[in-house]
Amino acid sequence: MAHIDYYLATISPYTYLAGTRLEEIARKHGATITYRPVDVAQVFARTGGTAPKDRHPARQEYRLQDLVRSAAIADMPLNPKPAFFPTNMAPSSYAIIAAQAAGGGDLGGLVHGLTRACWAEEKNIAEDEVIRACLSEAGFDPDIADKGLLAGAEAYAANLEAAVNAGVFGAPFYVVDDGQKFWGHDRLAHLDWHLGR
């Protein structure tokens, strides 16, 4: 059975655009997933990337066009310049870490709910009430948002180190336990193909 380490960023528009296709692919192939939220700005800094605001204007323009096209193709609502971007990723990332530890809910649904809140619903995913609502909607006890903050911080930092050591340089990024790597929501079809070989 294959295992996938899923490196994600809760403020990444491309993590949002991935939807829940990873979970569908994993079910299809009997694969398991470990969700590893990361501070994508730190991933960029550690691996030679550049934050969107610091990129050349041509790259910024292309990114906006690509986001609008990708959302239209996926038939997903998206504001390419959301009201609360960027925002602090840590609280929502800690919630995912706590939810994964607690079990009993839909982790893929939680990730998608948080990213949708940012990119389609004009909500600040650093705010407690937004995080609690997403936890509840995904079948988790919303009170876990207030528990295990130290463990969440430690896991969040460990995820960054694991990402850099695994060769991750963006989000979403999928690393299969056989060493194959897939970067971006537009490589999910490649992941599906790989797991089916």
Per-residue pLDDT, averaged over 12-22, amounts to 97
Task: Give the pair of three-digit tokens for residue 166.
Answer: 């695994």
Task: Give the pair of three-digit tokens for residue 188.
Answer: 């999910």
Q: What percent of the chain has pLDDT over 70?
A: 100
- The residue with tokens 């999928």 is 174
What pTM was estimated for this model as a whole?
0.95
- In SS3 terms, 125-165 reads as CCCHHHHHHHHHHCCCCHHHHHCCHHHHHHHHHHHHHHHHH
Q: Is the dihedral of CA 171, 167, 26, 141 positive or negative?
A: negative
Do the beta carbons of residue 63 and residue 12 sit within 8 Å? no
**Is residue 137 over pLDDT 90?**
yes
C-alpha–C-alpha distance, residues 136 and 142, integer Å? 5
User: Side by side, which strands form the sheet with 32-37?
Assistant: 32-37, 3-8, 173-176, 181-183
- The residue with tokens 């609690």 is 132
Domain span at residue 150 reads 3-196
C-alpha–C-alpha distance, residues 44 and 39, integer Å? 9
CA 30 to chain centre: 21
Do the beta carbons of residue 41 and residue 10 sit within 8 Å? no
Which phi and psi angles does 163 have, rounded to 5°? Answer: -60, -50
- The residue with tokens 């700005």 is 41
Task: Give the pair of three-digit tokens for residue 118.
Answer: 């940012």
Q: What is the pLDDT of residues 65-115, one digit of tens each?
A: 999 999 999 999 999 999 999 999 999 999 999 999 999 999 999 999 999
Comparing CA positions, the residue from 88, 111, 131, 116 lying closest to residue 36 is 111
Comparing CA positions, the residue from 148, 144, 150, 149 lying closest to residue 131 is 144
- Pairing label, strands 181-183, 173-176: antiparallel
Q: What is the average pLDDT value for the chain, to the nearest integer?
A: 95
Q: How many domains does the chain have?
A: 1
| CATH code for the domain of 148 | 3.40.30.10
